[in-house]
Structure 1
């Protein structure tokens, strides 16, 4: 069973009024208790269920892909989501082993004591989840990244103010004021909707404005983008290729794409998927 299908089934099985046990989910889905516990922990961290002793409960109003909210309250949903962006949960599952490999490679650019910006997104979230408990200073717009860093006592975390977009789990501020103006970072780790010869691309104007301001506060721009993002469709340019210092991607990148990236002066780092990356998302 695909991870995406299994997570949808788990959420569908939950009830907001009582605990659904690990044993019940194991029986209904036909997978091991270890797999169920791992899935419940991950879904709890992403905010899609409430993990309790022995099982989990549904969070009222939560659906796997948000369709029920979108159909019932289309205007409210637009306030909760960004144009052209998948929900955080849906994006987490897509190319998950590749994103894990990219995230692991990105850790090589960290040094204890540095300040950094970690932009919202599922690959950047995976990287933050793999970070060691070292004396870093992290500014992030991502609620899941904040949550996964809470137990790392040596990591100082700054969260800028703004409006919460629930589907993408990020906070964006359309104005120039706030903490960001006073924050200086050695590096920014950022994702994208697409990477083309025109540069780093997104699909929502507010996201474009936010990411441009974040990049202005960092000395080095490190883009985490699996190869499916290269030449993918997107209409709005965040920055040209010349503003990007490093692209961490996977072995699916074509020689032509690597060529135009390197011709723009970008360091291209290829992350290779390992057996451990695949094992982390297989059914056991």
Structure 2
């Protein structure tokens, strides 16, 4: 692996570019840096090994605790198998008839909502996720509430300080939390307003379980939701290796 100063500068710039884009192709990086495909692929392999990015077909996306810079639609297609298995386990083991539960926005929350719709367990669901709301609202015996606030079209969710005001004096039996990362004994996220809502969800719930696929493990974030000791159970699943070559 080329460890020259020029290579390090290029790799740092790759990381910065990925913070502003959902997915950047290998060809775009080649054009930007005037570098060969082999050079860029080596850079991406090195950065992936460090946990800074994840290679996808034809390019790469950031893994640096900036999930909110990636659209919900893009994240729904990442680690689908792992998220579906986690959701199935949570619904089977944690959700009982008559519960009031909080379901986080995010791709993991979406898969829990999908599994809950299949199970048709009568319960009350509080969620800031527009996708979960639309999926669960038609279900007989399921009441769905949203905390409101400003709608974020990229994340397809409601969140801001107005949502916090709507959550006062609400009690939940279970909070299904979807963190951006788990690192150094902390569950974290990368958006301040979203973090405040998650902290409120923690405070208003009797029991907390976390849904986090293997890519979230060891990933740092900008804001701390809670400590590992505050979470009753973590549901996780190893993720499949990402595509290693643009020719695969």
Query: One fold, TM greater than 0.5?
Result: yes
Please tell me whether residue 219 in structure 1 is matched to residue 203 in structure 2: no
How big is the shift at 1:112? 0.4
Shift of 1:110: 0.7
Give the match's secondary structure for 1:250.
Answer: coil
Partner of 1:86: 70
Change (3 A) 1:135 1:84: closer
Answering whether residue 182 of structure 2 is matched by residue 195 of structure 1, we say: yes
Match of 1:127 in 2: 112
Question: Structure 1: which 5+ runs fail to align?
Answer: 1-81, 253-272, 274-284
> Aligned ranges for residues 40-55 of structure 1 at < 5 Å?
none
Q: 1:140 aligns with which of 127, 139, 146?
A: 127
1:210 to 173, 177, 197: 197
Gaps of 5+ in 2: 1-65, 241-248
Q: What is the deviation of 1:123?
A: 1.1
Q: CA–CA distance in 1 between the matches of 2:68 and 2:84?
A: 23
Question: Residue 79 of structure 2 aligns with which residue?
Answer: 95
CA distance in 1, matches of 2:218, 2:164: 34
Number of the residue aligned with 2:144: 157
With structure 2 as the length reference, what TM-score do the two structures score?
Answer: 0.65
Q: Which of 93, 100, 106 is residue 115 of structure 1 equivalent to?
A: 100
Q: From the superposition, tell whether residues 156 and 229 of structure 1 become closer, same or farther in structure 2 (CA, over 3 Å).
A: same
| Total equivalences in the alignment | 172
Secondary structure (helix, strand or coil) at the match of 1:238 reads: strand
Query: Could you report, residue by residue, the CA deviation over 1:69-111 in whole angstroms, capped at 9, with x for unpaired residues?
Result: xxxxxxxxxxxxx984311000000101111011101112110
